[in-house]
Amino acid sequence: QLQLQESGSRLVKPSQTLSLTCDVSGGSISSGGYSWTWIRQSPGKGLEWIGYIYNGGITDYNPSLKSRVTISMDRSKNQFSLELTSVTGADTAVYYCARAGDYIYFEYWGQGTLVTISS
């Protein structure tokens, strides 16, 4: 059974960079045909797709976040990561990692991690 687990900084100061990692177990991120995804959920904006990485390194990002987002993967550690720069209070949210297939719906999710942007 595939499992995903988010980790990283839970409190980030405004204007700094949010960094999260998703550890994948029960399957390999090197397996073809999957999109390794970050999604966030805040009271104000609901569920928001941030972006994904697939085919070993191709990325697509939500245009609303594209200038600030980088998603990368580390095959040796079987994990993928999110960096979001120049954060503000609007970036406070629960961040989820998830997996999609060729069609981008999300069957596997991490438990989510709350990241708070505050000085």
Residues that bind other proteins (CB under 8 A): 46-49, 60, 62-63, 96, 98, 100, 103-107, 109-112
Cα distance between residue 39 and residue 2, in whole Å = 18
Shortest distance in whole angstroms from residue 39 CB to other proteins: 8
Tokens of 1: 């059974």
Are 44 and 94 in contact by the 8 Å Cβ rule? The answer is no
Q: Indicate the residue among 60 and 83 with the shorter CB distance to other proteins.
A: 60
Closer residue to other proteins in complex, CB, 63/76: 63
Minimum Å gap between C-beta 67 and other proteins is 15
